[in-house]
Amino acid sequence: MKINTSMKRSIVLLTFTILSVNVMNAQNSPYPPGNIQLKTDESFGKNSDWNKLSTTDESLYSAYYTRPASFVTGQDGSIYLVNNIKKELQLFDSNGNFIKTLAKITNIAKYMTVRIAGILDNKYIVTENYNRLHIFNMDGSLFKLLYLDYSASQVVPLTENIIAIYSNIVYPGDQNKQCVILKDIISGKDMIIESIIDTLSKGSYTLKLDKQMVNISYPYSKTNFILNRINNDQLLVGFTSDDKLKIYSKEGQLISTLKTNIKALAIPDSAKAEFKQKIKSYLAKIGKDADFDKKSIDEIILPSKMPFFHAIQVDDHDNILVFLYTEGKATHTASIYSSFSNIGQYIGTSTFNCDQFKLNVNPISMCIHFGDKEIQAIIRDGEDKKSPFKLVKFTF
């Protein structure tokens, strides 16, 4: 087939345009490639008494100290924080200074910790507590309580009364269903847009000991969905055993599929050795050492590849940060993609270094927010599980 001169010019122009956009995206990336040393903004939250806000004389379950708080930022920069230590929904200004308690959540958090999910339609603050969604008006008054027929591992408010939910449902027998659901909080209607059904035994090693059955998970065998809001009203969906990301409309229509080209790492031999030692130690503890020698573990049944990523974040400019494993460990290294025209253009890889504090990048925890050349995060002041937490801001 012959290509005429005008078509050649069009192809050259298109190629030049794509290259120009790629270069422009890379130059405009707010994240310098390589190591990013985060600096603490000492003025942030200086008027908040974090020791008073994050300690209590009350006897609390361990989970409350493990998951002490979660937060989201509003359209005007205000910060809404669920405080599980004080059992309150609290309001802070954009500079991290405490303003007031919006609502007491003592009854909500009576048996389980509460996690903030986000702000819906700039009208509602959505919180999640296993299979209950408490939806507050912005002034802290309760608008609606929703009981779900399933547990919620992650909740992401979209728009027009639609929220996305990731649920992991275990069925009688050996089946497990992971699904992404769009829910209308007014009508209560559910729509499943992604689902995966698997067998529980596929990801674990089963030991039959007399009348007892013991399951020990294989290293890096757990897979899960990760959800984020993107482009104001759309849903970003990632699955940890797939290198592709998907963007859905709030109506549940697939808009685009972004291929990250992330290479899954091989599971290191050290992880396999640790797994075998874990089984041997357990059997020794219950006096069944001989059973281990009789039934050696066939390495063929162990997973050979690690998940493609362990966390995904979306910043204020809709850049996608996909956090990677490095040398078999979950890290603060992220491949970064621009959502320009929904093509997921790769714009670099950066590592966020914070020597003084530990950062939790897992979006399910709602403990970090990536803004414009700044990061807000909940951190602990010490290694002790009861050490005070505080909200900090990093710049770079």
Structure tokens at 82: 């669920």
User: pLDDT (tens digit, 9 = 90+) per residue, 318-327?
Assistant: 999 999 999 8
Residue/partner pairs of 41-45 with CB below 8 Å, 24 or more apart: 41/374, 41/392, 41/393, 41/394, 41/395, 43/95, 44/95, 44/96, 44/391, 44/392, 44/393, 45/92, 45/95, 45/96, 45/97, 45/390, 45/391, 45/392, 45/393
Please determine, for residue 10, whether its predicted confidence score (pLDDT) is greater than 70. no
Find where tokens 């309150």 sit: 88
State the DSSP string of 292-344. Answer: HHHS---GGGS--B--S-SEEEE-TT--EEEEEEETTEEEEEEEEEE-GGGS-
In this structure, is residue 110 part of a structural domain? Answer: no
Task: Single out the residue of 248, 145, 116 nearest to residue 192, CA to CA.
Answer: 248
Q: Do 212 and 291 contact (CB within 8 A), yes or no?
A: no
In this structure, is residue 295 part of a structural domain? Answer: yes
**What pTM was computed for the model?**
0.88
pLDDT at 247: 96
Going by their DSSP bridges, the two strands 34-37 and 345-353 should be labelled as parallel
In this structure, is residue 323 part of a structural domain? Answer: yes
User: pLDDT (tens digit, 9 = 90+) per residue, 231-284?
Assistant: 999 999 999 999 999 999 999 999 999 999 999 999 988 888 888 888 888 878
In this structure, is residue 91 part of a structural domain? Answer: no
Lowest mean pLDDT among 69-78, 140-149, 284-293: 284-293
Alpha-carbon gap, residue 22 to 218, rounded angstroms: 40
Q: Is pLDDT larger for residue 328 or for residue 158?
A: 158
In this structure, is residue 60 part of a structural domain? Answer: no
Contacts of residue 95, Cβ cutoff 8 Å, sequence gap at least 6 = 43, 44, 45
In this structure, is residue 11 part of a structural domain? Answer: no
Range of the domain at 276: 202-363
pLDDT at 143: 98
Percent of the chain at pLDDT > 70 equals 88
pLDDT at 11: 40
State the DSSP string of 67-96. Answer: S-EEEEE-TTS-EEEEETTTTEEEEE-TTS
In this structure, is residue 104 part of a structural domain? Answer: no
In this structure, is residue 28 part of a structural domain? Answer: no
Please give the tally of structural domains in the chain: 1
Torsion angle of the four alpha carbons 332, 155, 75, 25, in this order, in degrees rounded to the nearest 10: 40
pLDDT at 294: 55
